[in-house]
Amino acid sequence: MPPATGAFVMKDALISFGATEYGNQCKEMRLVPDQPHQVYKTLVPDGAAVDVDNATWTLKIAGLQINQTGGLADYLNDNAGTPVDLVFEPKRGGKSAAVTVMAKHTDFGGETGSWAEVELELPCVGSPVFTPPAG
């Protein structure tokens, strides 16, 4: 069997909120679907009814806590409670996702002797729009 194609290592990602890029501040970013399903079992082996709900999406972020102009934490705190636009390419030049998320306040501070970080989940407004790479 030949090796799989299209796999990638998460690096050189494009992460922008509005016109500002924040890829150099994040170590993790994921768009995560929540798509529950229901199964109704009947009294016969092949009589189960199955349904899958529409997905709701969440953006998971982890990165440096930069609480000054140009920092993602600063941007999210300044825009907390408002919708903000995100463009995310896990590998620059590859498939991208565009979605609106609701900004939330981030942590402020941290542990002695370690990087101050943020880790939070932002609810998406609707579903991401996935776009194949140009070319």
Domain-wise residue ranges, the chain: 14-35+49-131
Q: In terms of Cα–Cα distance, which of 60, 58, 57 is closest to 29?
A: 60
Residues 58-105 have pLDDT tens digits of 999 999 999 999 999 999 999 999 999 999 999 988 999 999 999 999
* Domain 14-35+49-131 -> CATH class: mainly beta
* Token pair recorded at residue 29: 């970013």
Residues contacting residue 104 through CB under 8 Å, at least 6 positions apart = 76, 80, 81, 120, 122
Question: Distance from CA of residue 104 to its chain's centroid?
Answer: 14
Q: What is the pTM of this model?
A: 0.88
Residues 99-131 have pLDDT tens digits of 999 999 999 999 999 999 999 999 999 999 999
By the 8 A CB rule, do 128 and 31 touch?
Answer: yes
Residue 117 and residue 62: Cα distance in Å, rounded? Answer: 7
Query: Where does 3-95 show beta strands of DSSP type E?
Result: 14-17, 20-21, 26-34, 37-40, 49-52, 56-64, 83-89
Which position has the higher pLDDT, 6 or 23?
23
